[in-house]
Every structure is written in C-alpha cells, then in structure tokens.
Amino acid sequence: MKASREWLEEYANIDVDTLKLGDILTMAGQKVETIDLRGNDIKNVVVGKILEIKKHEDSDHLLVTKVDIGKEILQIVTGAPNIEVGDIVPIAKNGAELPNGKNIKTGMLRGVESCGMMCSVGELNIDVNEYQNQIEDGIMILERKDKIKVLANTNLEEHLGEDIVKVLDLKEEVIDFEITPNRPDCLSIEGLGRETAVALNTDFKNPRKDIDEKSKKIEDKDEIEGLKVDIEAPDLCYRYIARMVKNVKIGPSPKWMVKRLKACGMRSINNIVDITNYVMLEMGQPMHAFDIESIEGRHITVRRAKNGEKIVTLDETERILDENDLVIADDKKPVAIAGVMGGLNSEIEKDTKTVVFESAVFYGGSVRKTAKKVGLRTESSSRFEKGLSPENALRAVNRAVQLVEMLGAGEEIKGKIDRYPTKQKINKIKLEPEKINKLLGTNLSKKEMINILERLEIKIEDDIAIIPYFRQDIEQMADLAEEIARFYGYDKLDTTLIKAETTLGVKNKEQKIEDKILETLQNNGLSEIYTYGFINEKELDKANISEELKKLAICIKNPLNDDYKYMRPSTIPSMLSTITTNINKKNKEAKLFDISRRYQNINKNIEKGEVPEEEKILTIGMYGENLDFYIVKGLIENILQQISVNRYDIEKEKNNMSYHPGRCANIKIGKDIIATIGEAHPKVLDNYEINKKVYLAELNITKVTKYARNSKKYVEIPKYPAVERDIAIIVDENIEVGQIEKIITKKAKKLLESKELFDIYRNEEVLGKNKKSVAYALIFRDKNKTLLDEEVNKVMEGIVSELEKDVGAELRK
C-alpha cells in the first residue's frame, strides 16, 4: 500500500522527515518496503526561455543557446536537436543536482562556455507519458507556442527563474508499506494515518468527522429511482448499500485528486471512477459505480452465479463462473463479479446521467477463491479477501457522494438502500493487565496500557476493552497484548532466559545414526549433496525404476513445471542426475552421498486422506578411478559396523533394473532389505549418456534404525592360544564365496574365531576352465582351554568334506 506523506498529514501532524517516519512505522508494525522521495533530489533547476539558438563553430552537432532565466541570461551549449527559439524548458544552473546524481557545473564545451544544462524528462525523473508531447531523448519542452503547454492554467513566461520542483509540483514523498493480512484497515490512508498518529504520539485528526455524523442521518429506503436491491446469499454478502447521484457530468478529475491517485499507484480515468478509487484508497472500502440505465428491471440481486454463467469484465475478458462465485446481477444478467471486477455491460459511459454507487461487504474467503479462479487479483479483491468492516461501507459511500458534489460532478439523491442482514459484531475483551504483563514479560501499569489502547480508539469501560469496528482482528487478550507491545516498543522488551522445568536436549536413535553416517562417509572421502524431492516420468524411466515403484509416485496437482510433477518414489534418479552434472562439468571423479527422503503412496494412503510413507534414505553415487563394487559395499558395511548392526545377509539381486544384474546385492536382515549396493545398469548409464562406470548404494535409514544398537559390549580378551590354518580349495567359478563361508562357519561351530579370504586365483592352465581357487586363513580358538591340533584337524576335515560335498570343492595342495 502506497501512501504519500502529504495525504498522511491530513490525519496526523508529522514532525519528522519521511525516512525517519518510515523507520518509526516499521518498528510499530507497518513495515516500509520502499520510500520514494521524488523531487527532493532536484536542486537549482529553474524555468528558462530559449532566446537564441546558434550552431557551434567547432562542432557539427552542438548548439549554442541564450536562455532567459528571469534575472539573467545564460549561455548554454547543448547537443539536443528538439529545441526551438521561444521554447520554455527546465534549466539546470551551475551547481544544480539531478536525481541521477549528476552535478552540473559551468564548463567549456569545445572552447565555448556553457553555464548549465537543459534537462530531459528522464533527468528530472519524470515519466515520459506524464505530460503530453514529450520525448525520451531530448529536452523536456514545458511550453512551445501553440503546440505544447504542460500546465494548462499557468503562463510559464511569468515564472522564469523559478524552481522547477515548485512550478511542476514535483515533490512527492511516497512510502510503500507491506500490509500484513490481518490489517485490512491499513489498506487505507485513514488506517495508516491512525497508526502514524499513535506511533508519533500525536492526535489523530479524523478529517472525516462530518461523514461520520452524516452517516447516522441518511434515510433508509426500499427503492430509489425505481431501483431495488435483494441479497439472496447473505452468507456471502454481509451488507449492500446503494446510493445514487444524478445529473452527472463525466469529465476529468481535479489535479489534487489525480496527484493523490498517482502517488498511490492509480491512473486517473474520469471523475466518477476516480472517486470510487479515491474513496477506496482513503477509507479502504472498494466501491463500484455503474450506470442505472444498464440495470435491467432496475433490480439488483446479490446471488451465487449459475454454473457456466458468463460475464465480460471491464478488462474486456470473458469469465465463466459457477455456483461458488458471487455476482451482482440485474433481472437478466450478472453486471459484476462481487468484489472482484465490474462487468463491461454496466460501465460508466460519457453520457451516463445517473450513477449508482455500490458499497458492499462480501465474505473474504469467497472473494479470494473467485479472484484466484478467474485469475483476477484486483485492488478490490485483495481488500475484500482480508475481511472488511460492514460499518465502514456506509461512511465510504457517503464520502463518495460528498466528493461528487464537491467536484461538481453531479447531485446527491437523498436516501440509501441498505441491505444489512447480519450486523457486524463489536468485540469486547476483558482487560487483564497482569496476564498481559505475564505474556509480554513486561511490568507496565494499567494506566500505561489504557493510554496506548485509547489512542488506538479502543475504549475501556469497566475494564472491558471495546474494539472499534475497523479492528476486527482484535479478538482476545493476546491481540490486546500485541497492540500494547507494538506501541510500547518491541525494542524496549527485555531479553530474559526461560525459567522453567529442566528439559533434556538429546538426539534420538535415528538422529544419532545420521550423525554417524555423515561422519563415516566424510572420513571416507564422500561429499554430501542436496537434491530436490521432485521427479518426472522421464527421469524415472531413465533410471529403469520398476513399474511397481513408479505407481507409488505421488502426483502434484499444481507442479511448478512438468519436470517437477511427482514426489520421487526412489532417490536413485536424483543421484544419477547429480552424477551426470558432475561428468558434464568434466569433474574426473565424484564420490557423493545424499541423506534424503523418498515418498511412496503405499496402501493408497493419499486416497484415504492420510500422509504417505516417507523413508529416509542414504544414497551413495560414485564414479572415478580405483572404484568397484566392493568399495561401495565396504562403505555400507562400515556404516553398519558403526551403528552395531552386525548380523545381516548379503544376497545377489538380479531383478533391480537400476543396477547391473550381475553386480548388485541386497543387504537383508531377515526379510527386510535394508540396503542395496551395486553398479549402475549399463542401459541406465546409456540413458543418462554416461560413459563411465557408476557405483550406487541405498541404505534405508528408517529401517536400519530398528536394528541398530547404541550399546557395545565388552568381550573378554582371549587367554588361550589360537590355532591358525590356511585352506585353499578349487571350485567352479559360479560358486559364491558367501556359500563357501557359510559352510566353513557352519562346520567350525564355535571354535572359529575369524576367517579371512586372502586370495582368489584364476588360471585356466593350472586350474581348468571356469575354475577358481579360493584361499582362507582360518583362526580357531577355544575360550576355555588350549586347543589341540587334533581337535582342529578334525574340524578341518569336516569343513573340507562338506565343501567337497556341497560345492564340489577340491582341496588345492
């Protein structure tokens, strides 16, 4: 909301400069976004008349002019070709300052003295369209005989030498406020004026007292000039007032009004339309003016639109409505979308004679929805949607009628049609100073509190705060506390620390596990990444995500774009895109990890109105030299060791199509898959146009947390000596070492302390085709006694014979 200082001064005496005012209001809760001090940055620029123009002797394009600035004649050299003798132009004298920061000094231009500069519109920070017949690249012409006259009623010839800022009335100090949605009253100069008065601790002048008085006296009528009004949807329309003016003369608005409208960012259209906008800015009540002749049957109905009903709005666009939208209609058609925009069919025309001013209050939620649906967020709708006061509507319409008469734009028709089915409730709140002090942490006296509240026009009667109609946002004690705190000063509040029961600040199991993962992976050279949870079908396909999983993707109704249409059911595509980014950036290697969520609509939770399953996943992605499956496997196993998950199975996984079917494994605890490790499927790499091997892993943090243990237990350091034995066997290539190890473990029972695979050897000539030799160093120990060789021999025999039997192993000698 923009407000000019000049307009605010109508409501409160302002004894600080505008920048300071901005600071004070910001600290009182009306946050200033920008301050425009137009005109203040122009100094020593005056009105001058060109007496003579000659060519510069040493230049093709420069002109030497003589300019009359009242008391003296200046010689000015210029390069602008758009001037003529007799033109009245703005002259920046020696020592002038311009908005662009330029300082003008007398100087020599190709040997000829120039005692100033003629200014363009741009150099004075004036919009080129603000005055007629001006151009961007050239001198601003204030007057040119019979052709240009920027000030219709002023003979500038009489003002030579006078300050241009004064003559053109360029000075305008405008503050742009960010108004919070709870304060629709501050979407008006009146509301901001009230805040200003309280913040500056000065009187609120209330220039509209006359209107307040008059509003009580206007007679209610059922019909005026044959016009009748009915509200069919009182749930959406709280009040509808119509007042009329006759003998209307449509024409331009006076300069002061145009200037104020412009300062607030509105364009002047004609006196009647301008009055509605002016009142909206002044009092915060949007209004609509229409020609009574356009109302068929002279009967206005406020009703829900019919499904599919159409209206062409003032911006000449057809809008299709439904029963959730509220319209103002005559007997045949809608003439306006309530609170949003008027219809083209009822627009004020040049020959309009009788104007109906509509001042109504609609249910904010409905206006908001309609405005959003039809894509029209107007000055009007953005006020209505915050909830306006029905009490204010009457004042506003009376002000409009007053302005019509003031401007000589028409004559008042006595009386009003006022449909007001539900009267606005006035809030009353018990004033409890102790509770307020307790909430704020202050020690204010009741008197101090009442002083602030009364300046905000909150009356206190018998310890009851009676809230004025324009502050519907104040509903309970906390709201009063905020008002008191705002004007006591948030900056005056102390800083204290909580005095209360001690609470424990500790991380939970999953949070601790996450910390361990971060630490382990950072220490292993991996870098953490952050990815978006969004995904699209193409990416899911590129990563070969299974149809089954794709079905669990959650679809966003209003995505930012097609790339971000779903919430990802798998984190693999995000990792692969990041890998691709790094390859495209010519990074030789990247070892990355991501701790983030995947979202799966399991059990149709969303359809049931429940939130879907979100699991926290650690995703690893790596490419570069000296990497293989076993390095990624090692990382995951390191993490599992860190979080004391010691019992798990590693099984080959051939059906996860994101991974190479020969180089992928699941880590399982019972039936739960807690991790998947592997090399990316060559087809997937192709899809991403990656020509390097990429290693991936997913660890389900949510799941693994269940199995993790925080406590480690000491196992006694062995007292009895160990027996070491090596064993080498030849097996078929397709026998997994995991199978061999299972047999060794099973047969050695408790005596096996450790087994280390120290060699896998392949040589067709020595071992035969498709054979490999696998060698283990085994350590046996008995906790309770010294193991005898014979005992170990027996165990070894058992292992060998089982290996021979089960996996066709042959002892290598």
Partner 1 sequence: MKEQIEEIKKNSMKEIEKAEDLKVLQEIKVKYLGKKGELTQVLRGMGKLSNDERPIIGKLVNEVRDILEEEFNKKEEKLKSEELQKRLETENIDVTEPSKKTELGSIHPITQIIKEVEEIFLGMGYQIADGPEVEKTFYNFDQLNAPEDHPSRDLQDTFYITDDIILRSQTSPVQARVMEKQKPPIKIICPGAVYRSDAVDATHSPVFHQVEGLVVDKNISMTDLKGTLEMFAKKCLGENTKIRFRPHHFPFTEPSAEADVSCFVCGGKGCKVCKGEGWIELLGCGMVHPNVLRNCGIDPNEYSGFAFGFGVERIAMAKFGIEDLRLLYENDVRFLKQF
Q: How many residues appear in the chain?
A: 813
SS3 264: coil
Instruction: Quickly count: other Cβ atoms within 10 Å of residue 436's Cβ.
Output: 21
319 bridge partner residues: 311
CB of 435 to partner 1, least distance (A): 9
Neighbouring residues of 17: CB distance < 8 A, sequence distance ≥ 6: none
Q: Which is nearer to partner 1, 114 or 582 (CB)?
A: 582
Q: Tell me, what DSSP letter sits at residue 759?
A: E
Pick the closer one to partner 1 by CB: 482 or 679: 482
Q: How far apart, in whole angstroms, are the C-alpha atoms of residue 204 and residue 174?
A: 20
Query: Residue 445 or 786: which CB sits closer to partner 1?
Result: 445
Residues 6 or more apart whose Cβ sits within 8 Å of residue 284:
184, 185, 186, 187, 188, 190, 191, 383, 388, 392, 396, 470
Q: Catalogue the E-assigned strands of 119-209.
A: 143-144, 148-149, 172-178
Q: Minimum distance between the CB of residue 557 and partner 1, rounded to whole angstroms? A: 4
Cβ proximity to partner 1: between 486 and 781 the closer is 486
In contact, 394 and 401? CB cutoff 8 Å: no
As a whole number of angstroms, the distance between CA 612 and CA 606 comes to: 6
Nearer to partner 1, 69 or 590 (CB): 590
- Minimum CB separation of residue 614 from partner 1 in Å reads 5
Q: Which of 315, 317, 419 is nearest to 358 (CA)?
A: 419
Instruction: Give 643 or 701: the residue with its C-beta nearer to partner 1.
Output: 701
Complex with partner 1: residue 243 or 591, whichever CB lies closer = 591
Nearer to partner 1, 226 or 441 (CB): 441
CA separation for the pair 32, 756 (Å, rounded)? 72
When the beta carbons of 473 and 698 are compared against partner 1, the nearer one is: 473
Gyration radius from the chain CA atoms: 41
**Quick one: 589 or 802, whose CB is closer to partner 1?**
589
Please, what is the minimum distance in Å from the beta carbon of residue 289 to partner 1?
Answer: 26
Neighbours of 727 (CB within 10 A): 19
* Nearest-approach distance from CB 387 to partner 1, in angstroms: 7
User: Beta strands 299-304 and 228-231: pairing type?
Assistant: parallel
Residue 587: CB minimum distance to partner 1, A: 5
- 130 vs 614 by CB, closer to partner 1: 614
638 CB-near residues (< 8 Å, 6+ apart): 520, 524
Q: Closest CB to partner 1 among 152 and 498? A: 498
> How crowded is residue 459: how many other Cβ atoms within 10 Å of its Cβ?
13
The answer to whether residues 91 and 159 touch, using CB atoms and an 8 Å cutoff, is no
Q: Which amino acid is at 809?
A: A
C-alpha to C-alpha distance for 803 and 810, rounded to whole angstroms = 8
- Comparison of 414 and 438: residue with beta carbon closer to partner 1: 438
Cα distances (Å, whole numbers) of residue 277 to 176, 248, 364, 410, 507: 18, 17, 19, 17, 57
CA–CA–CA angle 229, 232, 234 (5° rounding)? 105
Q: Which of 588, 591, 660 is nearest to 622 (CA)?
A: 591
Maximum C-alpha span of the chain? 128
Q: Say how far apart CA 206 and CA 10 lie, in whole Å.
A: 8
Nearest approach in angstroms of CB 452 to partner 1 is 13
Shortest Å distance, C-beta 620 to partner 1: 11
CB of 467 to partner 1, least distance (A): 14
Torsion angles phi and psi, residue 726, rounded to 5 = -100, 150
**8 Å CB contact between 775 and 699:** no
The three-point CA angle 466-388-450 to 5° equals 25
Nearer to partner 1, 438 or 652 (CB): 438
C-beta closer to partner 1: residue 557 or 713: 557
Q: Which residues contact 131 (CB under 8 A, 6 or more apart)?
A: 121, 140, 150
Residue 281 Cβ vs partner 1, minimum distance, rounded to whole Å? 20
Q: How far is the CB of 551 from partner 1 (least distance, A)?
A: 15
Closer residue to partner 1 (CB): 493 or 788: 493
Nearer to partner 1, 324 or 786 (CB): 324
- Least CB distance from residue 195 to partner 1, whole Å? 11
Q: Please, what is the minimum distance in Å from the beta carbon of residue 783 to partner 1?
A: 35
Q: Least distance from C-beta 440 to partner 1, angstroms?
A: 5
Least gap, CB of 453 to partner 1 (angstroms)? 14
With CA atoms as reference, report the closest residue to 812 among 716, 706, 740, 747: 740
CB of residue 609 to partner 1, shortest distance in Å: 5
End-to-end CA distance of the chain: 92
Residue 687 near residue 542, CB atoms below 8 Å: yes
In the complex, least distance from residue 503 CB atom to partner 1, rounded to whole angstroms: 4
Q: CA dihedral defined by 244, 245, 250, 253, rounded to 10 degrees?
A: -90
Q: Which is nearer to partner 1, 247 or 522 (CB)?
A: 522
Contacts for 579 with CB less than 8 Å, ≥ 6 apart: 590, 592, 621, 623, 688, 690, 694
Pairing label, strands 237-246, 411-419: antiparallel
Cβ at position 210, least distance to partner 1 in Å: 32
